[in-house]
Amino acid sequence: MANIAMLGYGVVGSGVAELISRNRYKFKDELDEELVISKILVRNVDKHLNNKNRGLLTENIEDIFNEKVDIIVEAMGGLNPSYEYIKRALNMKKHVVTANKDLMAERGYELLQLAKKNGVTIHFEASVGGGIPILKSMNECLVGNEIKSIKSILNGTTNFILSKMSHNGMSYEEALKLAQEMGFAEANPESDVKGYDAARKLSILSTIAYNRRVDWKNINIEGITQIDSDDFRYAKMQKCSIKLLGISKISEDDIYAAVMPVMVKQDSMLGKIENEYNAILVEGDAVGDVMFSGKGAGMFPTASAVFADIADIVENKREKTITFSSEKASINKSWNLKSKWLLRIKTQNRVEIIESISSSFKSCYILSNSVSGNKEEVVAFVNADNEDLIDEYIEKVKSGKQAQSVKKLLVLDK
């Protein structure tokens, strides 16, 4: 019998409890092991008076650690007190399953080392892609590959917002309000819309993919708050849609890592991912491009990944436990491939800006007034060998006071 204690009984926690209940007898028949929830930590027991698991609920953390528990499932979120609880659990030689990307991005290396020291494991499949089994796939199915790059849609909230802006003509504010009404966005959506959530997930993915620790705070991060209807209009001219992508790519010297809005072809694999769905496109040296897609959040998608981790622990699959390298990655924040970029330059000096674009970029396409519809903005698609050249040009026109503001968007042709 495997005794399970749970920290948290919100959306994810209640979903995990339901899956354990559904699969209890099936699990026993197939593996001769019974899954039993012994205790569930909640903030306020009185909020769950009519819940079928009412008798298992407690507000006292000591009730969790006093039980003869084999596995502790952390579904509280945030850094504290989750970090202290998990550290204590590992020191007591309890296996841990968590869906907490904040915790694993900030403290993952330390906790994995602590688990190893105590002869137990910490599993965190649900921390990156919700119900998408990406970590296990990378650790097991792609073990014969050297991962070369990752392109990903890791935040369902922002993908939902961008989808509604693109297909329904909504403003950013309207799409965000709808996302909040439908439960896809928090009351305070900052972590999602500013790209921090995706950056934490990308850091975990990249750390595992390249066997070097990628600190999420060193990633170049740009959210979607400045995306407007004109960006989508220009994207459609290129047969593109706009997605908030988490991109990483390894080279001999460093790892490029960024989260930013990107124009992707509408018929590309990532371009077809809509609404709250997530997707992760992994490039391996042997297998080529492989994409994993599904719902990245929600009660049962996330609970599905948590339950799979519980099953792995019970089945004693410790030899495949994921680890983080002790080697810290050198992070490159500049896109170094020859690519197309959208430039939107607000200026009172239209003629001068057009001349400077033409002289600075050998290959460029400048939209006419009749197409852009804004006499105080120059809109151009330019080709550059790397992002540094784009940034140097932007700095030049800003420092010369030719431009009030400049927006850039990377265009991916594939």
Domain extent at residue 205: 134-296+328-332
For the segment 323-368, what is each residue's pLDDT rounded down to a tens digit?
Answer: 899 999 999 999 999 999 999 999 999 999 999 999 999 999 999 8
**CATH number for the domain that contains residue 348:** 3.30.70.120
Q: Is 210 annotated as a binding residue?
A: no
Q: Based on the domain organization, do 185 and 107 belong to the same domain?
A: no
142 annotated as ligand-binding: no
User: Does residue 11 have a known ligand-binding role?
Assistant: yes
Percent of the chain's residues with pLDDT above 90: 83
The domain that contains 273 carries what CATH number?
A: 3.30.360.10
Instruction: Tell me the average pLDDT across 286-299.
Output: 92
Q: Are 41 and 59 in contact (CB under 8 A)?
A: yes
- Whether 44 is covered by a domain: the verdict is yes
Query: Looking at the structure, do residues 107 and 154 belong to the same domain, yes or no?
Result: no
314 domain residue, yes or no: no
The answer to whether residue 320 sits within a structural domain is no
Confidence of residue 369 (pLDDT cuts 50, 70, 90): confident
Catalytic positions, please? Answer: 201
Closest to 10 (Cα-Cα) out of 57, 70, 80: 57
Whether residues 164 and 102 share a domain: the answer is no
How far lies 208's CA from each of 114, 137, 330, in Å? 18, 11, 15
pLDDT one-digit tens code per residue, 243-256: 999 999 999 999 99
Tally the domains of the chain. 3
Query: Is residue 119 domain-shared with residue 185, that is, in the same domain?
Result: no
Question: What predicted TM-score, i.e. pTM, was given to this entire model?
Answer: 0.94
**Residue 239 and residue 373 in one domain:** no
The mean of the pLDDT values for the chain is 93
- The string of pLDDT tens digits covering residues 125-136 is 999 998 999 999
Average pLDDT over residues 161-170: 97
The span from the CA of 87 to the CA of 73, in Å, is 13
17 plus 148 within the same structural domain: no
Residue 333: predicted pLDDT:
94
Q: What is the pLDDT of residue 25?
A: 84
Q: Is 27 helix (H, G, I), strand (E, B) or coil?
A: helix
* DSSP codes joined into one string, 141-156: ITTTS-EEEEEEE--H
Residue 373 is labelled as binding a ligand: no
Q: Is 101 annotated as a binding residue?
A: yes
Is 284 marked within a binding site?
Answer: no
Are 22 and 86 part of one and the same domain?
Answer: yes
Model confidence at 370, pLDDT cuts 50, 70, 90, reads low
Query: Would you state the pLDDT for residue 317?
Result: 62
Q: Are both 179 and 282 inside the same structural domain?
A: yes
CB 71 within 8 A of CB 95: yes
Please work out, in degrees rounded to the nearest 5, the angle formed at the alpha carbon of residue 36 by the alpha carbons of 30 and 37.
140
Length of the chain (residues): 414
Q: Is residue 389 part of a domain?
A: yes
* Cβ-based neighbour number of residue 117 at 10 Å: 10
In a domain, 49, yes or no: yes
The last residue of one of the domains, among 101, 124, 147, is 124
Convert 322-353 to b/e letters by CB count within 10 Å (16 or more is b).
bebeeeebebbeebeeebbbbbbbebebeeeb
Query: In one letter, which amino acid is 408?
Result: K
User: For position 68, what pLDDT does the model report?
Assistant: 87
- Within this chain, do residues 115 and 165 fall inside the same structural domain, yes or no? no
* 362 has binding-site annotation: no
In this structure, are 107 and 141 located in the same domain? no
Q: Is 294 annotated as a binding residue?
A: no
The CA radius of gyration of the chain, in Å to the nearest whole number, is 24
Peptide bond into 133 cis (omega under 30): no
> Do the domain assignments include residue 318?
no
